[in-house]
Amino acid sequence: MNQVATAIKQKAFNPLVNSFSGMLLKVLKPFKKGDFIEIDGQLGSVAERGLLQTTITHLDGSLTIIDNSKFYSSSLHNLSTKNIIRLDLTMSVCYNEDMSRVKESILSFLNLNTKILKSPAPKLHVTRLKEKYVEISIEPWCLLDSFMELDQELEDHLKLHLTSLGFQIELEELDYENIGVTA
């Protein structure tokens, strides 16, 4: 019976919190319709801002509906006002590697690159388990002006960095010619 009472309270309480959050969004205006935002890994443009929820259109055209209370309990970045963008890198690392060392090495490498922003901080997470490798998604941020250069080079340089440290990574996609290394 206690779980039922808790569920009823949440169903009654959530709309109140979301509507109050919706009113705060209208007053404080941290973003407007059409702005490009990132919240908890959700990246896209604001398609609709309602009293209870906000709809985001992702780059692939898909939609996500987010409760307005989420904007006050999560990290929100309005990219339209900051002129920044997230890079999406993928790295496949052999299962037998020490993943905490791999993560530390990736973050250290990104920290040394002056074109990678310190805030918002880069995020790393496992996206897929392959036969011999763990696929890691790496999401650093940069200024919009640096995006094209970093998008073309950063992943290959990171792969070279990790292999130079002795990590076993999947190298089939590495393009040595574009990064000035002869094979």
The model's pLDDT over 4-14, given as tens digits with 9 standing for 90+, comes to 656 565 666 77
H/E stretch holding 136 reads strand 133-139
Whether residues 171 and 93 share a domain: the answer is yes
**Quick check: 175 pLDDT over 70?**
no
* Domain shared by 113 and 66, yes or no: no
Least Cα distance to 143 among 91, 78, 85 occurs for 85
Based on the domain organization, do 48 and 78 belong to the same domain?
Answer: yes
Say if CB 46 and CB 35 are below 8 A apart: yes
Q: Is the pLDDT of residue 158 over 90?
A: yes
Q: What pLDDT, in 10s, does the model give residues 39-60?
A: 887 888 899 998 899 999 887 7
Q: Rounded mean pLDDT of the chain?
A: 84
Same domain? For 88 and 172 the reply is yes
Stated pTM of the model: 0.59
Identify the H or E element spanning 64.
strand 63-67
* pLDDT at 121 (0 to 100): 85
Domain boundary among 47, 82, 117: 82
Query: Per-residue pLDDT tens for 100-124?
Result: 999 999 999 999 999 999 878 898 9
Mean pLDDT across 12-29: 80
Rounded to whole angstroms, the Cα distance separating 142 from 102 reads 22
Q: Which structural domain, as residue segments, surrounds residue 54? A: 2-82
Instruction: Give the other-Cβ count within 10 Å of 34's Cβ.
Output: 10
* Distance in angstroms between the alpha carbons of the first and the last residue of the chain: 68
Give the count of domains, the chain: 2
pLDDT for the residue numbered 64: 92
CATH assignment of the domain containing 36: 2.30.30.60
Q: Name 78's bridge partners.
A: 37
Q: Do 49 and 65 have their domain in common? A: yes
Q: Are residues 98 and 163 in the same domain?
A: yes
In this predicted structure, which of 71-85, 106-120, 135-149 has the lowest mean pLDDT? 71-85
Give the whole-angstrom CA distance, residue 122 versus residue 118: 8
Report whether 138 contacts 109 (CB < 8 A): no
